[in-house]
Chain A
Amino acid sequence: MRRICAVFAALALTGCSAGTSTAPQSREVTLVTHDSFAVKPEVLEEFQKSSGITVKQVASGDAGELTNKLVLTKANPIGDVAFGVDSTFASRALSEGVFAEYASPEASKGAQRYKADDSNRLQAVDVGDVCLNIDPAKLGGVEPKSYDDLVDPKFKDKLVVENPATSSPGLAFLLGTIAKYGENGWQEYWTKLRANGVKVVSGWEEAYNQEFSATKGDRPIVVSYASSPSAEGGKTKAVLDTCYRQVEYAGVLSGAKNSEDAKKVLDFLLGEKFQAQVAEQMYVYPSREGVALPESWAKDAPLPPNPQALPADEVKDNREAWVEQWRKLVQG
């Protein structure tokens, strides 16, 4: 018996790393996000002070994991408002009825340009396009300008991409080639890419930190983000004609316990103060119009003007088959 008591005492003691946040507060809103979510502490602090709302953050993996967790828990959601479902997964979240309708007054100030559909359930918070990044120093003046250039022998063994089965930028790049060459043309393109020595790795970390010549490796062309050059001080460039548009959305969860305050948090995410710091905090572009980008971005990492895109439903219906075909084609 004494031992059983000890166990309960131990279980109770685990509270010492747990802090005190378990106590429910009347105006607490739980914000579920993907792992890459970041906000300047002072910006969040100011919102909490002026609104009287306490924001509790819960991180839930990458965009895909987040979406699936929201779908699984839609009957009893793990929060009130969610941020981070992206254009690849939006149609799954919408068709499963994860989000409730809310026409935020802030959504008409630019976010509407990237909307997922007309139902007002998801609002675009930011745009994070996936583009080829190049290391001009290593390429010595001969730079690729388009998808077509990559199959040119002068770029043989120069390109490293991520596996679309395990990496979100990898998938975006594959979708970009499908959008560009069409349902029946992309296979041929990838066959040529393979013949031209494309290297495939499992994730962005490896591709960018290990294989890319601007960091450590010897491949001068890598699939990364339009924003990445802003972190490299002008040493790298994005190839703006090889971009695929990725939009990240937020919405109030249907079944939110505190949906009134959740709406205010959504307004905050779309509002000027939050939007002004998404570039620095998350390496993405604000969805709101008229928000200035940091200085280095305008020069090194402008927003791609004409990115490729595919309708969300098409992606949802074909994704698994495309990735499987890709696997047979490139690695078979």
Chain B
Amino acid sequence: MGRAVAQARAGLSSRTGWSAAALLPLAFLALFFAWPVLAIVSLGLREGGVLSALADSDTWELVCFTLGQALASTVVAVLAGMPLAFVLARCRIRGLGLVRAAVMVPFVLPTVVVGLAFRTFWPDGGVLPIVLANAFFNVAVVARTVGGLWAHTDRRAEDAARALGASRPRAFLSVVLPALAPAIGSAAAVVFLFCATSFGVVLVLGGSRYRTLETEIYLRTVELFDLSGAAALSLLQFAAVLAVLVLGALARRRRETALALRDREELARRPTGGEWYVVLAAFAVVVALLTPVVGLVTRSLSTRDGWSLAGYVALNTRGDRGTLAVTGVDAAVNSLRTAFDATLVALVVGVFSAVVLVGLRRSGARFAEVLDTALMLPLGVSAVTVGFGYLITMDALPGDFRTSPMLVPLAQALVVTPLIVRMVLPVLRAVDERLRQAAATLGASPARVWREVDLPLVGRSLVAAAGFGYVVALGEFGATSFLARPDAPTLPVVIARLMSRPGELNSQMAYAACVLLMVVTVGCVLLIERLRVPSSGEF
């Protein structure tokens, strides 16, 4: 009896402790997300007219189209990403590092440039190219998130099922898929949010026929200054995103299991038999991903008068007659530094959040779900809303934060943090509780348990998450274009500017800058591959 009470008390106190720790990520979110967003939305609400916007049938058409295209894009991205995840996680094939890097390339490309590349295949735009382009950007999320967990999932259960006579598809469906479900759910949620808020793709490929909540919020806020209309649409966007996140969280909760995590090295092997079809599918996806990329490279080299390296040479200048405030190379360096800062902030907040989330859940706090969902919200809210929100709130912070250069990495971190949480959390959750209990029984403090048990198991996903986050920050455009200073633009901002000027050299240089961005990305990914911590022993 006495022991039960003591146990309950211990549970309560750890719950309080974890809840207190949750305050840090919540404070970050509240300061740099909730406060600005609520401020701008409530400004719109005060103007009135929200109900009439909600009653408009056009509004509901927008909601349906937004969700429909996001859903379709998510399905395509998951289907295309799964074979890649398998190959990256399970296969021992030459050149895998390059595949891993190639998969990341689309993620950093400016949407305008990709939109234009897709237009060469679909000159009039339409729904299909929108869906494919959205999926193109997001295959990496699926491959990375699912691959991250898959690489550590014990192979023996699957082998046992096969030995007991299950066919390959059967073993996959009843053993592998349930184990991967949390990661697939996570990835799908992230992809859905990215697609639901995709802006450049819809603008370029939708002509002006197809509009989404995101493009309409932009139009209302930026061009028409109809803040009440924008607020109504923001509320709808918020509600839709929240609904999807809650559904995702419910789905994840049912599936959650502790898995016997293993090291990739001992799990990967040469593909056999039917697995080669999956490998083939994966390579088909890579080829599809690289097609627009090859188009970009070609365009960076070809001029009206034949092949030329002029665009690349111009990268060391400020563009045709000084289009830019800095040279292309300076912008690249600036991109690298800003992304580094953003990743650092996101890594600290993200890993801390993931640890807190797991702790909260283990101590049985319901609050875990709320925090989990809250952390994802920044992905589903329009960059315009956040950017305009900053304008009317951040001046209250010391030193008029609105024009502070620190705002760029912080805004990027807002986008990167949820990705890091999503990549680290499934692995962290899958750590077998018995290992931790054993360590605790042997006298290890909670911090020591984390260091000795959790950290070695999730080490690799941490490095992978950091690399992924870095690349995302490199390519981030929405928030950055709102906040970057003209004397310190990032590469995507420079590309947008070059694209908006006449003159063949500017356009050449824009495409060359895209190639530079891709090269930097591949370089980063390959470097991170090398940095990956060596095998940390048997568990």
Interface set of A (CB-CB < 8 Å, partner B) = 3-4, 6-7, 10-11, 13-19, 21-22, 24, 30, 33, 35-38, 40-41, 56-59, 61-62, 64-65, 67-69, 71-73, 76, 78-79, 92, 163, 165-166, 200-206, 208-210, 215, 224-225, 227-228, 231-232, 280-281, 283, 319-320, 327, 331
Contacts and interface: CB of A to CB of B under 8 A. Distances in A.
Given A14-B406, A57-B487, A68-B388, 19 more contacts: A4-B24, A15-B406, A22-B399, A22-B405, A30-B403, A61-B482, A65-B223, A67-B225, A68-B222, A71-B225, A76-B395, A78-B400, A201-B207, A202-B204, A203-B112, A225-B502, A227-B502, A231-B502, A232-B504
Given A166-B203, A209-B507, A210-B116, A16 B322 contact: no
A283 B501 contact: yes
Interface in B194-241: 203-204, 206-209, 215, 219, 221-226
B410 A14 contact: yes
B209 A208 contact: no
24 contacts: A3-B348, A10-B344, A14-B344, A16-B341, A17-B341, A17-B408, A35-B486, A36-B497, A38-B325, A59-B485, A59-B486, A64-B222, A64-B225, A65-B223, A68-B225, A72-B392, A163-B207, A163-B208, A165-B223, A166-B208, A205-B116, A206-B116, A209-B116, A210-B116
Contacts of A320: 224, 226
B345 interface: yes
A7 B338 CA distance: 17
Interface in B463-515: 481-482, 484-488, 497, 499-504, 506-507
B403 to A, nearest CB: 5
**Which of A30, A62, A64 has the most C-beta atoms of chain B within 10 angstroms of its own C-beta?**
A64
Nearest to B394: A78
Contacts of A38: 322-325
Contacts of B321: 280-281
B345 A73 contact: no
B207 A205 contact: no
B345 A10 contact: yes
**Which of A57, A205, A228, A232 has the most C-beta atoms of chain B within 10 angstroms of its own C-beta?**
A205
B391 A78 contact: yes
A331 B222 contact: no
Nearest to B410: A14
B219 A165 contact: yes
A69 B388 contact: yes
Interface string B312-335: 000000001111110000000010
B98 to A, nearest CB: 30
A37 B325 CA distance: 9
**Which of B215, B221, B222, B345 has the most C-beta atoms of chain A within 10 angstroms of its own C-beta?**
B222
Contact of A205 (B325, B337, B500): B500
Contacts of A15: 406
Contacts of A33: 486
B41 interface: no
Contact of B409 (A17, A41, A331): A17
8 tightest CB-CB pairs across the interface, nearest first? A231-B503, A163-B208, A231-B502, A18-B405, A17-B337, A59-B486, A14-B341, A228-B502
A35 B489 CA distance: 11
Contacts of A41: 325
Nearest to A21: B405
Nearest to B486: A59
A215 B219 contact: no
A73 B322 contact: no
B404 interface: yes
B119 interface: yes
B172 interface: no
A276 to B, nearest CB: 14
B60 interface: no
A237 to B, nearest CB: 13
A197 to B, nearest CB: 12
Secondary structure at the B interface, as helix, strand, loop or mixed, is helix
A79 B322 CA distance: 25
A228 B503 CA distance: 8
B262 interface: no
A7 B413 CA distance: 13
Interface string B335-356: 0011011001100110010000
B402 interface: yes
Contacts of A203: 112, 203-204
A11 B337 contact: no
Contacts of A56: 403
A238 to B, nearest CB: 11
Contacts of B352: 3, 7
A78 B225 CA distance: 18
B162 to A, nearest CB: 44
A303 B243 CA distance: 55
Given A61-B222, A231-B503, A202 B391 contact: no
Contact of B484 (A13, A59, A228): A59
Nearest to B28: A7
A215 B408 CA distance: 34
Nearest to A62: B222
B203 A280 contact: no
Contacts of A14: 341, 344-345, 406, 409-410
Contacts of B400: 78
Contacts of A65: 222-223
Given A59-B486, A283-B501, A327 B208 contact: yes
A73 B503 contact: no
**Which of A10, A14, A232 has the most C-beta atoms of chain B within 10 angstroms of its own C-beta?**
A14
A22 B407 CA distance: 12
Contacts of A165: 208, 219, 223
B223 A64 contact: yes
A303 to B, nearest CB: 17
Contact of A202 (B24, B207, B345, B392): B207
Interface string B386-430: 001001100100011011111011100000000000000000000
Contacts of B497: 35-36
A210 B500 CA distance: 12
B529 to A, nearest CB: 24
Contacts of B325: 38, 41
Nearest to B215: A166
Nearest to B506: A231
A273 to B, nearest CB: 15
A78 B393 CA distance: 12
A46 B191 CA distance: 50
A14 B207 CA distance: 39
Contacts of A72: 388, 391-392
B502 A283 contact: yes
A232 B502 contact: yes
A21 B226 CA distance: 34
B206 A202 contact: yes
B337 A16 contact: yes
Contacts of B24: 3-4, 7
A18 B404 contact: yes
Contacts of A73: 391-392, 395, 402
A38 to B, nearest CB: 6
B64 to A, nearest CB: 18
A40 B486 CA distance: 13
A15 B403 CA distance: 14
Contact of B499 (A6, A7, A209): A209
B227 to A, nearest CB: 9
Contacts of B204: 201-203, 206
Interface in B16-65: 24
A67 B223 CA distance: 9
A143 to B, nearest CB: 19
